[in-house]
Amino acid sequence: GIQVEQSPPDLILQEGANSTLRCNFSDSVNNLQWFHQNPWGQLINLFYIPSGTKQNGRLSATTVATERYSLLYISSSQTTDSGVYFCAVLNDYKLSFGAGTTVTVRA
């Protein structure tokens, strides 16, 4: 099956800092989603982004499908941004998840 790799595995930020999370995938995909899992386990969809760039507030994402990677940018990080960020790719009809990046934002 398709392989999804995320980096870095862990990220510690000072409040107000910017960061970039990366997702590499091994094959062409129909779609790609970024999720934030909060401490209670709820997965919140951040972006549907099979290609191109999208922005939503302090978050933005870019997917370069031809080079098989996607980036998630967090600007001016806040403590509420803490949690695990997952990239998931859609191949055929199934979502395959990366291992996630655990982000800790310190006040």
Which two three-digit tokens encode residue 7?
A: 């980096």
59/95 with CB nearer another protein: 95
**101 contact partners, CB below 8 Å, separation of at least 6:** 6, 7, 8, 9, 10, 11, 21, 84, 85
What stretch of H or E contains 11?
A: strand 10-14
70/96 with CB nearer another protein: 96
Which two three-digit tokens encode residue 24?
A: 């590499």
Least separation, in Å, of the C-beta of 29 and another protein?
10
Least separation, in Å, of the C-beta of 38 and another protein?
10
Interacting residues with another protein (CB under 8 A): 30-31, 33, 35, 40-43, 45, 48, 50, 86, 88, 90, 93-100
Least separation, in Å, of the C-beta of 73 and another protein?
21
Is the CB of residue 20 less than 8 Å from the CB of residue 72? yes
Backbone angles phi, psi at 25, to 5 degrees: -135, 155
75/91 with CB nearer another protein: 91
93/107 with CB nearer another protein: 93
